[in-house]
Structures are given as structure tokens and as C-alpha cells.
Chain A
């Protein structure tokens, strides 16, 4: 596998020793070994998405007064278990948020029981 912790992108190989422990080779630094273990046992990703804003905002100047749907960006505060990303996205896409909203507001606390919060990443008045 390729280490994605930093841009060098070392090619890592992982072997299981007789004792059952994992041996990582090909990494240029210790972060690569930690990455390989986590990627193999429980891969995680930061998830970014947008949720619907309930308040429909009048388009700014030049929009001819048309009403535009607005999306509010959000992200997980830390990396989230990869196999549950689909579930998390369904949860987020079901949310309708009242405007105005402040950056940093917790949108979902302890998402799906993972202990990881989802926050709003842009203030929209």
C-alpha cells in the first residue's frame, strides 16, 4: 500500500510475523508504520460534506431576484471510520439547518456513536 500521511508517498509492504504482529517495511519514517497498521485494521478518513439550509436566501445582486438553494459546509472534527462514511453522509443529507449559522457550531454530536462530532465550517448570515 502507499502511505498517504505525507506527500512522499512511500510504498509500504506489510507482513504478519509468526507471533501475529505486523511488520511494516518500505516506510521512510515511523509515521508510515503507524499508518499501515491503522489502514489495515481500521481505516479512517476526515469527511467533509454540505447540509441543506432551510432558510431560502434571496440571490444577491445580479441574480434577478431568483431564489437560490444554499448549502452549508461541514466536516468531522477528526478522522472517521471509513466503512461508516456512507451512513454518516445519509445522516447529514437528511439535515435541514436554520440560518444564520456560525462556524464551529456542532451539527451532530457523537455521530453514530463514534464519539466524533461534525461541525459547521462556514458562518452564513
Chain B
């Protein structure tokens, strides 16, 4: 067993982990960056489509290009990267933390530090999570797994495809499977509107004449050894109409039914999870209930833009460095989720400084207004041309806007959409 000591250890070497590690390094702290994969980059490496980096680099890049640009910064820094090493335990004894890692080349490692940044990303919901009845034949994949097989390893999961769920990953995979010569027969979505972006509906479905069945439920997957087809049943006024059910023959089903932050490690360590985001509950500095343990990127809440992941994670790394310097939040207020808002992250703001927060709407709406209230008084209202649940909204709150603070012992900032 080997032991190393650092000021900070970052768990996960995707966009979030790299950005947080770079921020800590730039503040002169010693940093270890640990990832279970053979190299850094995370999920970006399999996202070979374009659409990354418009905010961060002012250019439209593919996932691997975006990852490599950030990794170049890591290579020039003093960050020590441990790849092919999985963190299995986080132990905290007062201010001192120990991360236990398993590495096939180095065996068991113990990394000691005062600050931990969690950046483990998220994983996909699978068939078990959404309970589709039927047989258990081969040929059912999550869309992200299929993406990795096709884009990195060069295998085709099948020829005749049906995609369940209209999230962006499923839509992007509909185009990919079409471009590699497969036939995509349908995308089936239970909701009355697609969960992916309109531009992906156009570029990934319309371009290939792929039908999108909205308000339809996949009621069965059938086939003996291999998938032979799915049964799809329409929903009318919220009820299934079995008389109108139909079958779509296919040999492969891809599931694109959502992502969940990867928090097994966090839960085991005793970190509180926020049920609205499935990520750790954090204060205005993105610190969890374990002092000195921070979280950012998809492990905190699922992001749709990597540019936002990097922005948030850079700040988390900065706050972690502040914490090492002995700084603590001064005047925190709880954030209350108001009308038409699904969640707000982080769940606290510091009234004494500038805050950047991310939120998601519960509704699709044009010409919406975002309202911020401090102890019930309206302090800011912002016009939005368009809001929808699949698009995260970012919001900056300056100390001046939050007034000189609040007279209440426990101030509350409420955010709502009208």
C-alpha cells in the first residue's frame, strides 16, 4: 500500500475535475486528480459530435477537442494525475481526509489531503429504473453505452434500432446510427413534447425521416435471445389505449431516459443528497455537509452544456482554495424554490458577495420572467425569451442587488418563473 499527501484531491478527471484541479493549482496548492479510466476527459471523449465550447472557447468544437484543450492546461500544470485508479472510499477524520483508491498498476493507494472535490459525473438510467415489461433478450443498451461502443471502440450494437426517450443523447445517437448505416425506426417518448433541443429534433430526426412518437409508452420489449421488436401504446388524456398498440420490429433498443449523478461514494462517506438534484446538498461555495469536501459538474446536478460545467467547477476549485486559506461564508441565505422552478443549485447564496446560480424550469414558456425575492420583497426580475426544462438557466446575483443583506436571522432568497 502506498500513501501520498496533497493539499487537495479531485475525484474524477472529466471536464469538471480538470477545471477544479486547475483552479486549485493556480492558487499554488498541490493537487492530485484521480480517474478510473485510462486517460483524462470523461464523457466528452465519446461525444464526437459538435456543439461544445461556444461559451468557453467562442468556437463550436466536438467533445474530444474540448477535453484536449483543457487537458493541455493540466499537462502544463503541477497537477499529479492518477489514471486507471478508482476511488472506493472517502474517510474524513476532522479536517484530514483520506481517499482510498484501487489501481491495477499501483495496487491500493491512500491519498491524504485537507480538501476533496467530487467530480464523478453522472450515469445513465437503465431499463431497471424505468421498468419496461417483457423478456430479457440481448440487444438493450443505454444510449451512452452505445455511443461509446460506436465512437471509441468501433462496434455496432445492432442494425435495426428503436430509441426509447427523446433526450439529447438519444437524438444524437439516432443521427449517429443513421450515419453509420443502421436503420433507426422510431424514437418513442412518453411525454407530449420532446425532452431534447429542437435543433436536435431537426438535425437528428427530420434529416433522416425518423418518426417521433410523442405521448407513447413502450409497453413491451420482446424477443427470445435477441430483441425482435417493441410494442408501443399511445397515451390519450393520460391513459393507455391498448386497442391502438402496435409493434415495431427491431434488433436493438437504445434507452435515453435520463441521467443520475454518480453519488455512491458520496453517500457512503455520509454526504447529504439533495432530492431535487440527486447531487450533494451544498452551501454557497459548493461545499457539502462534510467540511472541506466540495462537489461540481454532473455529480452536483446534471448539466446540458459542458461550458457551464467548466465555469461552475473552476469556481468550486476557487472556493476550495479559499477554504484552505481559512475563508468561510459570511452571510448565507437559503434559496427557496418558487413557482415553476424544478431546482436551484447551489441551495444557498452568500449575501455578501457575487453569486452565480444555475436553475431549471418546470415548464416550457415563451416571454417568461425570472423573479428573485429576498424575504418576500422583489429584488430583481429578468426577462427570458424562452425557458424549457431541458435548458439550464444561469443567473448572477450581485451583493448590491440583494440589498445590504437581511434583517432576519435566517434570510430566504426565493426564485420563481412567471
Contacts and interface: CB of A to CB of B under 8 A. Distances in A.
Contacts of A85: 179
Contacts of A84: none
A53 to B, nearest CB: 9
A103 B152 contact: no
A60 B64 contact: no
A19 B163 CA distance: 45
Interface stretch (B16-24, B45-53, B223-231, B406-414): B45-53
A89 B49 CA distance: 14
Nearest to B391: A7
Contact of B68 (A8, A48, A82, A122): A122
Task: Tell me the dominant secondary structure on chain B's binding face.
Answer: mixed
Nearest to B152: A71
Instruction: Indicate the size class of the contact surface on chain B.
Output: 20 to 34
A105 B393 CA distance: 36
Contacts of B386: 7-9
B411 to A, nearest CB: 33
B199 interface: yes
A4 B198 contact: yes
A89 B152 contact: no
Contacts of A48: 48-50, 62
Given A7-B198, A122-B64, A71 B154 contact: yes
A69 B153 contact: yes
Given A28-B385, A62-B84, A50 B207 contact: no
Contact of A49 (B64, B65, B179): B179
Size class of A's contact patch?
A: 20 to 34
Given A82-B207, A122-B68, A2 B202 contact: yes
Interface in A58-79: 60-62, 68-71, 73, 75
A88 B386 CA distance: 36
Nearest to B37: A60
Contacts of B104: 61-62
Contacts of A69: 153-155
Contacts of A46: 50, 60
Contacts of A2: 198, 201-202
A55 B403 CA distance: 63
Contacts of A123: 68
Given A45-B203, A68-B153, A122 B198 contact: no
A14 to B, nearest CB: 15
Given A60-B38, A61-B38, A89-B179, A70 B154 contact: yes
Nearest to B155: A69
Contacts of A121: 48, 61-62, 64-65
A4 B48 contact: no
Contacts of B153: 68-71
Interface of B: 38, 45, 48-50, 60-62, 64-65, 68, 84, 104-105, 150-155, 179, 197-199, 201-203, 207, 366, 385-386, 388, 391
Given A4-B202, A122-B64, 4 more contacts: A7-B199, A50-B48, A70-B154, A75-B48
Interface of A: 2, 4-5, 7-9, 28, 45-50, 52, 60-62, 68-71, 73, 75, 82, 85, 89, 103, 121-123
7 contacts: A49-B48, A71-B151, A73-B48, A73-B64, A75-B48, A82-B207, A121-B61
